[in-house]
A and B are shown apart, each in its own frame.
Chain A
């Protein structure tokens, strides 16, 4: 158990819908990363938040957004869903932001768009 929690574990929804994925980082971790794992693209970095502020963006679509709240939990919002958004979405947290800080991964949320 990494100490990072993600809810829900599974999510099935229809095209065009909007969903929210939730992540609670390890206690004391200030940095949260979101990654997407799909069969064709592999594991890709989406976005990072640090202490409530957006720090970096990766291959995140404009239909996707995220935020980190004062209690440091984070939410990833996916809208106008398409079949291709079906994937496993991971959240990872680290104490600080920096190259030598280990990222701890949650169990993921599996999103299926039908």
Chain B
């Protein structure tokens, strides 16, 4: 069973389009995240949700809108895609980051987004 799964794995789209990336975790975790990895492999937090509530929004453009319909899902919708949005986007989940019960974050396989 895949612990954190995200779809699609690859996404090629034109500038100006709107696209979504879906993420699901079957670990029963309370906290989910979106990270962006650039071409130099640098990982930057975008959003963090705890129990479906937005906890962190790290100065991400308004074109990026996360949505958590339930604790097991955190989807990422991107409007008006730009060339600079090309990157690998990782979803992750953990149990109560920032508390004594945190052990590790589990990552999905990533979605490679290419905007042309």
A and B: bona fide binding partners: no
A contact set with B: CB distance below 8 Å? none
B contact set with A: CB distance below 8 Å? none
